[in-house]
Amino acid sequence: MQGHGEGAGQEPLRWWQTRWFVAAMALLAAVPLIWPDIPPLVDLPGHMGRYRVQLAHGQVPWLGDWYNFDWQLIGNLGIDLLIVPLEPIMGLELAVKLIVLMTPVLTATGLLWIAREVHGRIPATALFALPIVYSFPFHFGFVNFALAMALALNAFALWLRLARLGRLKLRAVLFVPIGLILWVCHTYGWGLLGVLAFAGELIRQWDRHPGWSEKWKAPFWAGIHCLSLFPPAVLMLAWRSGGHVGGQTADWFNWRAKMQWVTMIFRDRWELFDMATLATLFLVLLKGLRDPNIQYSRHLSISALFLVAVYVLLPRIVFGSAYADMRLAPFALGIALLALRPKPGIPMRNAALLAAAGLAFFGVRIAATTYSFWLYDKSYDRELAALDKLPQGARLITFIGETCRYEWKMSRLEHLPGIALERKLAYANDQWSMAGAQLLTVKLQGARGFNHDPSQIVTDVKCAREWWRPIAVSLARFPRQTYDYVWIVQPPKYDRRLEAGLIPVWRNGTSALFRVDDAARAPQLMMQDLGPYGPEMKTRMEAINRANRAS
């Protein structure tokens, strides 16, 4: 693995610079996802429900009554396409698990490959970038995004390698289909590759043009070399001009949110631990500025600055997808960490200690994530036991407890109804319904306001700036003529009087599955059920009921 990058040297390979070490890090990145049957990522169960509709829409007649599913070319189809050949071979759940498991593996290999191409050898400091393989966007279940970003990192490493070998014509040819594949997987992957490729080519062109009188040409020629990545822009234009009313772009320059996303880069379960991880990595970056034995690569420093600029300019919502800017923060941090390297001549003992520290740091994060996922998996198993009592094809409405406190640890249960759709072909009211942003939209009749995300989220009181309903409102107002089963998952406290007309068929703690008694009357909603926001909620619900009767 002799390297030829900015920091290439002639010393023998050290243990963290070998192919065996890269393979070991890739395997280590997979460990947290080996045990759980369903990767416990917030949005993933909802996506799995959509995959089931995608695969069975033409064979199961009632799915066509509940959901529209229209294939179209959009920049968000990564796993949606991959499961088509894989599901008949291994089943949907295993196929999804294997694809998701490969995402952190590919992210780890991409990071180390980039480090090798830029520095010539993998620097000891590069190991500190590896924890971003399990960053908050991955935990949130943005699986198409995460897969595309992992592929983009590896594609960028290939871009650098072909430039280093002087295979520029081959690179131009190869990256036309590579760019198209990344865009189809998720637009962000294509965007990340474009930013990194331009930054990398800018530095190469800058070094190729001697004298300041010639260096002004560097941005021009960098853009010319990146034209092979332009074709997806045509697909983007066709997608966004398709006449869809959904998929809006909004909430620009939300500085408060942007600062919060930076602090949440490693958000998982234990706030102090996750924040300590982030603080440690910022200290590593600071050390690169102050330590005379460590320096920054121009190449990746420029790339990181470009990503920071994109992060600042991105709105919170892009094409109907929320948290657009948040998703980029871990990758800007990761590229900045990859920019670090020990200066030539640093004693081998010091470099080895630095590599050992980076490896230990990554190992601790992997161990914590493995334990966290095991705990989430136990929670999934407890709640999904209810599905053993649910008949195939049930019209199911689900209410999942949430609070207004926005705890650091998310329950990962927010889209559990998607598993009822995936396993039992039951209706799931957690599906996203945004024309132009998703292939699936809902059309269940008689369930207005209770048929798609976020109608599955319930709280004890009305939360400010949220569409979530209090549990009492949902139990009293959901359309009983439309649904025949109610699944309540870890709800806030409520008066059992509100279970009138619901026949329990399964209970576990506060969670329960009920069959709706068509002959029973719904309970009356009382002011005390609504807490401090009672009068406001009553006025709002009366207006909604009048609108429903009018329609």
pLDDT at position 346 over 80: no
pLDDT at 32: 98
Q: What's the CA gap between 437 and 317, in Å, rounded? A: 11
Task: Report residue 284 as tokens.
Answer: 């590593």
pLDDT at position 246 over 70: no
How are strands ordered across the β-sheet holding 502-508? 469-470, 457-459, 396-401, 485-489, 511-516, 502-508
Are the beta carbons of 338 and 126 closer than 8 angstroms? yes
Are the beta carbons of 352 and 13 closer than 8 angstroms? no
Give the model confidence (pLDDT) of 184-210 as tens digits. Answer: 999 999 999 999 999 988 888 887 767
Q: Which amino acid is at 305?
A: L
Which residues are within 8 A (CB) of 91 and not within 5 positions of it... i.e. 6 or more apart? Answer: none
Cβ count near 252 (within 10 Å): 11
Closest C-alpha to 303, from 103, 176, 115: 115
pLDDT at position 437 over 80: no
Q: Which of 82-86, 157-161, 345-349 has the lowest mean pLDDT?
A: 345-349
> Domains of the chain: which residue ranges?
72-242+251-346, 382-550
Q: Which residues pair with 512 in a beta bridge?
A: 488, 507
Confidence of residue 450 (pLDDT cuts 50, 70, 90): very high
What does DSSP say about strands 502-508 and 511-516: parallel, antiparallel, or unpaired?
Answer: antiparallel
Q: What's the CA gap between 432 and 417, in Å, rounded? A: 12
Which pTM does this prediction carry? 0.91
Give the model confidence (pLDDT) of 149-183 as tens digits. Answer: 999 999 999 999 999 999 999 999 999 999 999 99
Q: In percent, how much of the chain has pLDDT > 70?
A: 89
Give the model confidence (pLDDT) of 348-383 as tens digits. Answer: 777 889 899 999 999 999 999 999 999 999 999 999
Confidence of residue 1 (pLDDT cuts 50, 70, 90): very low
DSSP-based three-state secondary structure for 504: strand
Give the model confidence (pLDDT) of 24-42 as tens digits. Answer: 999 999 999 999 999 999 9
Which range of 121-130, 233-242, 336-345, 525-534 scores highest in mean pLDDT? It is 121-130
Task: Report residue 378 as tokens.
Answer: 């136990």
Q: What's the CA gap between 524 and 340, in Å, rounded? A: 64
Closest C-alpha to 262, from 281, 248, 249: 281
Are the beta carbons of 522 and 480 closer than 8 angstroms? yes
